[in-house]
Amino acid sequence: MPVIDIKNLKKYYKVHQKEPGLSGSIKSLFSRKYYDVKAVDGVSFDIGEGELVGFIGPNGAGKTTTLKVLSGLLYPTSGHVSVLGYTPWDRKPAFQKQFSLVMGQKNQLWWDLPAIESFILNKEIYEVPDAQYKKTLDELVELLDVADILKVQVRKLSLGQRMKMELIAALIHSPKILFLDEPTIGLDVVMQKKMRDFIKEYNQRFNSTIILTSHYMDDVKELCQRVIIIDKGKLIFDGALDEIVKKYANHKLLTVVFDKKVDQDKLSEIGQVKEFNFPKAVISVKRTAASMAAAELLQHFPVADLNIEEPQIEDIIREVFTGADVA
């Protein structure tokens, strides 16, 4: 039984169309014109208990809108959604107690108070029993290594410290389902890694179901076996990360290191030269022609080292979105 089940979900925003200039503003007072922004346009997927799924797509693809519908913050235009058997926008208290939505760009903590005060507030809101609260808090504080800053005013914390506190606030009621919307946005590389480690550990330790959106592919690569990709409100891929490579990448990359100078024009006969910086060159060749191209390089060029690689997943995904051929 899937814990999250979405069938043909659509969310269209009605947007007021204003004509430019003052006369436009006056006109629009009398006759308002609307048009639809199809933020989510017929998306279906289901997610099983304990899965940690990457939900990716370019800006404006409809990720946040989907997560807001799943959290009951927005009514969909149409479609079926079931989360733990509940319809999210009914906002039943029993449902509210079992999920959490964390948005990297929004904070729910009280700015002028120490984070611990917000935790206590959430404990009350979610009616977490004292003993469970203490146990959960201790565990999260230890996992995130924040014992010494619990009593510091939130406004005085760094962005990374604050995100850790946001996570604790969101997890204090031990939700079964977690929606993480860009939780690592703006964090430095070290802090991103710490967040990632935490998400992984949390998922494994509590078997919680997590949907993670991120535009850092490292997050997705390290955490998610399964990715769902949407673009312009439509689902374009749902499967294992390495399936993306198989499905979309019809090229391979030859990375060559030369002993001596070579002629770039001659190199172009092998394939598309992506990078040429003596002694190193990167050449993109058709997947099926990769071994031929490698043989040719070895035969006709002063090769010191040669590697055949898959293109970077980031590049593949970018090309999928722009509709270009993956090279």
Ligand X SMILES: Nc1ncnc2c1ncn2[C@@H]1O[C@H](COP(=O)(O)OP(=O)(O)O)[C@@H](O)[C@H]1O
Q: How far is the CB of 21 from ligand X (least distance, A)?
A: 22
What tokens were used for 302? 């002063």
CB atoms under 10 Å from CB of 147, counted, come to: 10
User: If contact means CB under 5 to 8 A according to the sort of partner, which of Mg ion, ligand X, none does residue 175 touch?
Assistant: none
User: If contact means CB under 5 to 8 A according to the sort of partner, which of Mg ion, ligand X, none does residue 214 touch?
Assistant: none
User: If contact means CB under 5 to 8 A according to the sort of partner, which of Mg ion, ligand X, none does residue 299 touch?
Assistant: none
64 vs 208, beta carbon nearer ligand X = 64
* Helices first, then strands: H and E counts in the chain: 12, 13
Segment 64 to 83, residues that bind Mg ion, using CB under 5 A: 64
Question: Any residues with CB less than 8 A from the CB of 106 and at least 6 apart, and which?
Answer: none
What angle do the packed helices 159-171 and 115-125 form, to 10 degrees? 20
User: If contact means CB under 5 to 8 A according to the sort of partner, which of Mg ion, ligand X, none does residue 57 touch?
Assistant: ligand X
Segment contacting Mg ion (CB under 5 A): 39-47, 61-69, 121-129, 156-164?
Answer: 61-69
Interface residues with ligand X (CB under 6 A)?
A: 13, 15, 37, 39, 57, 59-65
User: If contact means CB under 5 to 8 A according to the sort of partner, which of ligand X, Mg ion, none does residue 110 touch?
Assistant: none
Answer for the pair 118, 110: CB distance below 8 angstroms, yes or no: yes
Q: Which residues pair with 47 in a beta bridge?
A: 4
Q: How far is the CB of 218 from ligand X (least distance, A)?
A: 19
Q: How far is the CB of 118 from ligand X (least distance, A)?
A: 25
Strands 4-17 and 78-83: antiparallel
Q: Whole-angstrom Cα distance, residue 187 to residue 192?
A: 6
> What is the binding site for Mg ion (CB under 5 A)?
63-64
